[in-house]
């Protein structure tokens, strides 16, 4: 990946781009929301479609010259339909947050009530955090995970919903390691006559591969990101029943966005095609097997895992018991210096802050893409342990860095 044409014009950016590729190749990318898309997806995203305005939808655009944009967007829609099985798909949201925005905008009025999972319990900013437009525009209450088990407190949610009477309940999370019981949340929504939005941003690939149950056909709206576990072009997606289709399409454009990012939609189409191949199911299964192995080894090494394990692609480690003097931010910094990139994360019952949280979140989508198996992930758990046990020890960092180099050499990326 040489970026020769950028280099001719702009050596500074070319240097940074090459350094970024090197960084991804030579360190372990364990941010649970990240992945390494194929070179085919990169190619599509870097295509001349970045030049094209195509406001509207296939066959109904506000500009001329959209025949190939139409073809590509329709392919993305058809492939998403085959992957997930919804009645209606919109592939234009620029991100998962904008997919959620479209849902709220299509059915809520400012001041309407949203019931969603608290950010520190695994929710997402766009589910109603006060710093986000959702928290400012709507009346938001938040439910929590059970303090003992770390699983969503479904009974508490039902009680809270009966009292709060929300207009919409949001499920689907950003830092939740367990299978989500969509039907139970739908039952609560039915009981209080609320809409149900299932945000599968993190687990889109697992749902597409059948490794996690799908909320499609259960929740009224399903939103997602297209670049996380599904490994397609960067952006968002909304899926819904036909009765909501016009409202969603209008809420995406012109309600919340102008021209769609057609080059990203091309990347979505290509990535969805890859996800329809049988190998993608193996990838999704391996991603979960790797996360389980990572979690089991971390637990064996003395770490405390929220919910004591995982059913999906991530583990959430609460450092307070095992390493009370090391914050998630400290751990993140020490690990990055040793070549392991993940993020400090808030944990249920957080006693620090979002800027200096008490946990770390580690995901396996990127490692699995480059070929890591369970044994590798157990080794990674041991490396994480050595660094967090000795957060300021330069020799340990150096030794771990050498092991990281070995793992990266054995599992090359973008050769």
Q: Find the shortest distance in angstroms from Cβ 341 to ligand DSN.
A: 12
Quickly count: other Cβ atoms within 10 Å of residue 308's Cβ. Answer: 13
Distances (CA, A) of 78 to 10, 57, 180: 38, 14, 26
Q: Find the shortest distance in angstroms from Cβ 105 to ligand DSN.
A: 19
Spatial distance between the Cα atoms of 384 and 407, rounded to a whole number of angstroms: 14
Q: Are 14 and 6 in contact (CB under 8 A)?
A: yes
Helices (H), 113-228: 133-137, 154-164, 182-191, 204-208
Q: With respect to ligand DSN, which residue has the nearer C-beta, 100 or 160?
A: 100
Spatial distance between the Cα atoms of 98 and 371, rounded to a whole number of angstroms: 32
Binding residues for ligand DSN, how many (CB under 6 A)? 4
Q: Are 232 and 84 in contact (CB under 8 A)?
A: no
Q: With respect to ligand DSN, which residue has the nearer C-beta, 222 or 245?
A: 222
Q: Find the shortest distance in angstroms from Cβ 126 to ligand DSN.
A: 8
**Residue ranges in 71-100 that form contacts with ligand DSN under rule CB under 6 A:** 96
Query: Of residues 33, 304, 327, 369, which one binds ligand DSN by CB under 6 A?
Result: 33
Q: With respect to ligand DSN, which residue has the nearer C-beta, 353 or 392?
A: 353
Is residue 101 at the binding interface for ligand DSN, with CB under 6 A as the rule? Answer: no
Q: With respect to ligand DSN, which residue has the nearer C-beta, 194 or 316?
A: 316
- When CB distances to ligand DSN are compared, the closest residue is 33
What is the DSSP code string of 351-415? SS-SSS-SEEEEE-HHHHHTT--HHHHHHHHHHHHHHHHSTT-HHHHHHHHHHHHHHHHHS-S--
Q: Find the shortest distance in angstroms from Cβ 363 to ligand DSN.
A: 9
Phi, psi of 40 (to 5 degrees): -65, -40
CA torsion through residues 9, 13, 15, 18, sign: negative
Q: Find the shortest distance in angstroms from Cβ 58 to ligand DSN.
A: 27
Tell me, residue by residue from 43 to 72, as one string, x for binding to ligand DSN by CB under 6 A and - for no binding.
Answer: ------------------------------
Query: Of residues 101, 120, 174, 297, which one binds ligand DSN by CB under 6 A?
Result: 174
Place of tokens 């396996």: 364
Place of tokens 């014009």: 9
Q: With respect to ligand DSN, which residue has the nearer C-beta, 33 or 346?
A: 33
Q: Which residues sit at the interface with ligand DSN, rule CB under 6 A?
A: 33, 96, 124, 174
């Amino acid at each position: 990946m040489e970026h020769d044409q950028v280099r001719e014009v702009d050596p500074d950016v070319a240097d940074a781009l090459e350094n970024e590729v090197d960084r991804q190749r030579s360190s372990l990318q364990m941010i649970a929301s990240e992945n390494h898309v194929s070179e085919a997806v990169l190619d599509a995203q870097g295509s001349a479609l970045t030049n094209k305005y195509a406001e509207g939808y296939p066959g109904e655009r506000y500009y001329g010259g959209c025949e190939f944009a139409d073809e590509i967007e329709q392919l993305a829609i058809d492939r998403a339909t085959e992957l997930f099985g919804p009645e209606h798909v919109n592939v234009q949201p620029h991100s998962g947050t904008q997919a959620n925005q479209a849902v709220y905008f299509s059915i809520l009025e400012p001041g309407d009530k949203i019931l969603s999972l608290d950010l520190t319990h695994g929710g997402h900013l766009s589910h109603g955090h006060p710093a986000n437009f959702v928290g400012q525009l709507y009346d938001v209450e938040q439910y929590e995970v059970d303090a003992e088990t770390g699983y969503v407190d479904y009974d508490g949610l039902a009680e809270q919903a009966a009292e709060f009477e929300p207009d919409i309940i949001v499920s689907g999370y950003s830092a939740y390691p367990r299978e989500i019981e969509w039907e139970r949340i739908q039952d609560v929504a039915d009981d209080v006559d609320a809409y149900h939005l299932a945000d599968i941003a993190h687990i889109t690939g697992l749902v597409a591969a059948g490794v996690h149950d799908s909320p499609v056909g259960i929740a009224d709206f399903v939103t997602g990101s297209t670049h996380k576990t599904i490994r397609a072009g960067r952006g968002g997606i909304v899926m819904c029943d036909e009765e909501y289709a016009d409202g969603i399409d209008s809420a995406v454009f012109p309600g919340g966005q102008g021209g769609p990012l057609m080059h990203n939609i091309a990347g979505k189409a290509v990535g969805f095609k890859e996800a329809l191949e049988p190998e993608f199911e193996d990838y999704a299964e391996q991603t979960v097997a790797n996360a389980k192995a990572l979690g089991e080894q971390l637990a064996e090494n003395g770490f405390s895992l929220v919910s004591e394990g995982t059913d999906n692609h991530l583990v959430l480690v609460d450092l307070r018991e095992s390493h009370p003097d090391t914050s998630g931010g400290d751990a993140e910094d020490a690990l990055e210096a040793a070549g392991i990139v993940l993020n400090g994360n808030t944990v249920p019952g957080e006693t620090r802050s979002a800027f200096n949280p008490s946990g770390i979140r580690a995901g396996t989508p990127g490692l699995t893409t480059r070929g890591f198996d369970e044994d590798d992930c157990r080794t990674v758990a041991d490396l994480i342990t050595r660094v967090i046990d000795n957060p300021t020890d330069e020799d340990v960092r150096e030794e771990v860095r050498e092991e990281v180099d070995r793992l990266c050499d054995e599992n090359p990326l973008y050769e």
